[in-house]
Amino acid sequence: MEHMNGLAISPYLTREIPGIGGRIRVAPEDFRVEEQPLYLPCGVGEHLYIKVTKRLLSTPDLVKLISNAMGLKAKAIGTAGLKDARAVTTQMLSLHLAKPEQVDRLKTGERVLSIEILGYHRNRLRPGHHAGNRFHLVIRDVSAHASVSVPSILEVLQRRGVPNYFGPQRQGRGGANYRIGAALLINEAKRASMSRAKRLWYLHAFQAYLFNRILAKRIDSLDRVFAGDWAVKTATGACFQVEDERTEQPRADRFEISPTGILFGSRASWAGGEPGRIEEAATAELGMTKDLLTHAAKACGFRGERRALRIPLKHLDWSLDGSVLTLTFTLPPGSYATNVLRELMKTEGPGSPNHPSSPSGGEVVESTKPVSPLEI
């Protein structure tokens, strides 16, 4: 794994196919995201569900806008995911004890494009309560060979899966967030001096950085399972440990299951066999051990989990008009459209999908505003 300005550059799955370059987000309309509902309101309950389409407006700012306009406390407003600001995005929100007539106070305009009342439901929306995101993206000024590279790259991504890297935005503009997280893991006094939210932000940055290193080591076999792997079922998200790779590989070939990497925690299981040796090696390269990470996670109060090394690229459609590529596809919750864009574009500088100055192209799981290291 190479580094640029302290930031890890993760290897491409399709590195043998030339990238098409180009520019993204020339206008907000070039990056559209529509949240796919996991369920619709049943018509009964205390939470009023609405669907909002917004432009150049982050989800936290939308929540603040709704809170002020409708006279609701921010904690009464639920969301299933946090969407990018530099985009046109559609998502559901739940409003506790709100009445339909209160929604009329929220006016449409340049930032709030449309509002639709969906009905009442028994529970509030919580992070992860959606089925994924549908993306409609435009890449402008692509290379002349795009007509050859694009179908080749997309064929690989559909067949083998999209690398499930965490975006570099988690590491901050200087790429130092994971280093702060590493220091917190071994410094109890420093952990105690922070709020829980700030502490977890940095620890999750280290967690994501370690996962990316594990995935980088397995990039050429991200669609293969080995004895000792923890495999995740695509349909349910349930994990099981692989005993016989010859038995399970056909299921991986059909994308019924995928190998996973560890997001370490007090209860997360480490892989065994060769996958386990890879996880231990990546951990050792960062000056850590399995026992140290597990103990620190227990002290910090997070359980951890396994994360798929790849994600399916579904409902794909694309067209090339001169130097303008238009893409539509669906990704599961917690994944990043920028992982599709970077395989296509293969650019790493400012303005590229893999640069920390770029929005995430998916969901920002913990926060849309990382804490600066200078605030510690």
84 is catalytic: yes
Helices 290-300/196-217 angle, 10° precision: 150
Residue among 40, 45, 105 at smallest CA distance from 72? 105
Q: Which two tokens stand for residue 144?
A: 């002349």
d(CA 181, CA 178): 5
Helix, strand, coil share of the chain (percent; to 5): 35, 25, 40
Q: Could you write out the DSSP letters of every residue in 68-84?
A: HHHT--GGGEEES-PPP
Between the alpha carbon of residue 214 and those of residues 10, 123, 163, 222, the distances in Å are 10, 37, 12, 10
Catalytic residue among 30, 61, 84, 141: 84
Catalytic residues: 84
